Amino acid sequence: MNSSSTPNRILIVGGVAGGASAAARLRRLDEKAEITVLERGPDVSFANCGLPYHIGGEITDRQKLSVQTPDSLRNQLAIDVRAKTEVVSIDREKKTVVTRNVDSGTTEELAYDKLILSPGASPLRPPLPGIDLGGIYTLRNLQDMDRIKDAANSANRVLVIGAGFIGLEMAEQLVQLGKEVQLVELVEQVLPQMDPEMTRAVEQELLDHGVDLILGDGIDGFSSAENQGIRASLKSGRNLEADMVILSIGVRPENRLAQEAGLELGARGHIKANGHMQTSDPDIYAVGDASETMDPILGGPTAIALGGPANRQGRVAADHIVYGDEARPYPGSIGTSIVRVFDVAAGVTGHTEKRLQQMGIDYEKTIVTDYNHASYFPGATHLTLKILWDKSTGRLLGGQANGIEGVDKRLDVLATAIKGQLTIEDLEHLELAYAPPFGAAKDPLNTAGFSANNIRSGRVKPVYELPDPNSQQLIDVRPAEMAQLKPIPGAINIPFPSLRSQSDSLDRSKPVTTVCALGKMSYFAARILAQNGFEVSAHVGGWKVAATPSAPEKTTPMENSSKATPETESPSPEVKTASLDCTGMACPGPILRVRETAATLAPGQELEISASDPGFMNDLPAFCKANGYEFIGADKSKGIVTGRLRKPMDGPADSQPNSGQTPPAKGSTIVVFSGELDRAMASFIIANGAVAMGGKATLFFTFWGLNILRKDKGAQVPDKTLMDKVFGWMLPRGPKKLPLSKMHMAGLGTWMMKDRMASKKLPNLPGLMQEAQRAGVRLVACTMSMEAMGIREEELIDGVELGGVAEFLGAASETNANLFI
């Protein structure tokens, strides 16, 4: 460094991240420089990212938020720090600024050799009706934090407007303070900085913690409420009342000084800066939230309002002031950000899909869900990744993640990969730290690379939205238990292990889309079907990312029990609580394990279950209610649900003795005599309902009803008589050929009815039949009727039993409803 050429007088406007970092770096590089920091507020350097957490009480010591005070900067760095000093104007020709003391109003002119602007960005406060009412707050500095914290002490209902990073942090902290929180966001998702499917886990977490989430609606104005609160009017016409309001709808750069000084501004009002953070005036630098820099991924301008970039930009400006063009330029910002919302973390790095579409970039994408560490190690929880890449080169353009643990680790790797211009092929072979408590042999990042390259190579045709079941065959390859517990609308469930044997039941002339819980099995299923002649696509991401978040049912312990154990029926002290670890298992694994283990409990014994499947919180009460166990309660911490149930003293409802007699019969036995479409559907609907209610169901097919069970294509039966063959030709073959009982109209009426049912997304007969067989409904063909009509066993669909009158009567004795259709 040539100290004689170093500018002697350096003024820095604004402290906090960019300005304070520049001042500290300058002093370390040049002990003799005259460095003056001018800060409009009383605090020159504070941790503004920590403000919500002091409001919520997680950061208890306010002093820890003051990273540096004016006195500490003076003492440590020999810097002239002038707090409560506002810069009024810049004279570029004279190279001076005019300052005004905020308290006294006195002004002063200061000269500079180099000027660094770090004014930051201010929260948006739009000119809405009632915007200046008391009780409406924004959060930027320690003083704002103090005001919000004081107001929250006496508030019960808080309205947060804006569901970006700060809005979500505030909503979380206010809930933890016991407040009733409503969160309003103009667009149809939280975290507009991310893509919609990657924010649903955050939305579900907010709903699970009681936040009233209002999406797709904006604020239109404020007025005073009758109870001395604030009434907020939304654009939809809805009115909300709260004790206090927090505005968190974005920020705008503090550009007045630069604009009045004639510095060049970007399209969004940020101060344009080159790689050395110089503005259009080479003696003036701009750093932090008010500056516009370069997008290192695709080029062009970008502005990132984050503390990390601001710190590094301040350092770059200081280096250039001292070293000139020998200093290393700022490489640009890619906007790596993360937020915690209760137990869920979500973050983004690089470009989102929405941004790439706006830029007209030809890209591809994938979404994968895996465990944050080895699934067999306790505490494994789901982690979802989305990556985007350039379609022609495979270069990574962006990444997003959500989950309970390990989100920051994967985002950091993706950010490094993007900055290093790595490709999706490179992701496949990243060597990452692995031991069961920390990761897996195939990290979720490797899995994302595998999935991306399968798409890019054409080995799988991806779809990202569930198709219309009327236009495609939507095949749910999840286990039957999961499909019953959480059905996918319009999907036919063929569990993956059964897919090869049941693929012939699908229509090869119609496209197929496979879907599963997490996206992996749908890919496996698509590969099977594609190699067996089907036109097939795989849903990327699975039902986990496609499902719409919903508020949990409000239940209380014991409320879902069929019979609560009185205090007098408590188990004896020697009966110990059993425990069951279901972490690392996807639905329906936990419920199946609970069913098995609960059946072994002693009367009055409790079972404590740990599960990492997020749906288990709602699944356990439903299981208890359906099976006669007492639901004691469930809570969630760090993504792990811990639930408890108790076996009643006289056993679950479905196995309880009935005053020493045989348990009451449940379910239905149906004689299906008709071979007409509408009556056949009624039979299967009733049977499926009987099983769903915990009973048994048997369908006994006789005479014309046997046509329902016939295969679409006739089997070759060499020893059939001519009359038997004639009967087979004359009768409808299978459920797709059945007529309506009314308005058949030579097939036209039947076609119209099927079309109407499909358009209204009502079930069809083949789907009802498959559902019945999966649910355990018995299908029995009357052997006497088969003989009379010349129908052989090999002509019937798989899974049909053969029986006679005795079979029917035996089944009827086990049910409480017997029907003839």
**Which residues does the annotation mark as catalytic?**
49
Paired sense of beta strands 34-38 and 778-782, if any: unpaired
The first and second tokens of residue 718, run together, are 């060499």
Paired sense of beta strands 239-242 and 230-234, if any: antiparallel
Task: List the beta bridge partners of residue 44.
Answer: none
Phi then psi for residue 402, to 5 deg, are: -150, 155
- The rounded Cα 636 to chain-centroid distance in angstroms is 17
- Sign, Cα dihedral of 149, 155, 161, 166: positive
Q: For the chain, what percentages of helix, strand and coil (3-state, to nearest 5) are there?
A: 35, 25, 40
Q: What is the DSSP string of 36-66?
A: EEE-SSS-SB--GGGHHHHHTTSS--GGGG-
The first and second tokens of residue 60, run together, are 């208890």
Distance, CA of 229 to CA of 251 (rounded, Å): 26
- Tally of CB atoms within 10 A around 46: 24
The first and second tokens of residue 273, run together, are 């800066």
Distance, CA of 390 to CA of 802 (rounded, Å): 59
Distance, CA of 470 to CA of 738 (rounded, Å): 19
The CA-based angle 370-373-375, given to 5 degrees, is 70
Distance, CA of 821 to CA of 462 (rounded, Å): 44
Integer-rounded Cα Rg, in Å, for the chain is 34
Residue 148: exposed, middle, or buried by beta-carbon count in 10 A (0-12, 13-18, 19+)? buried
Single-letter amino acid, residue 792: R
- Tokens 């508020």 correspond to what residue? 551
Please report which residue ranges of 269-370 form alpha helices under DSSP H. 307-323, 353-359
Paired sense of beta strands 396-403 and 344-350, if any: antiparallel
Task: List the beta bridge partners of residue 278.
Answer: 285
DSSP 569: G
- Tally of CB atoms within 10 A around 220: 16
DSSP 112: -
**382 contacts 584 by C-beta, under 8 angstroms:** no
Residues with Cβ < 8 Å from 18, sequence gap 6 or more? 116, 118, 120, 287, 288, 289, 291, 310, 311, 313, 314
- Tally of CB atoms within 10 A around 448: 27
Paired sense of beta strands 114-117 and 121-123, if any: unpaired
Residues with Cβ < 8 Å from 558, sequence gap 6 or more? 564, 630, 631, 632
**288 contacts 19 by C-beta, under 8 angstroms:** yes
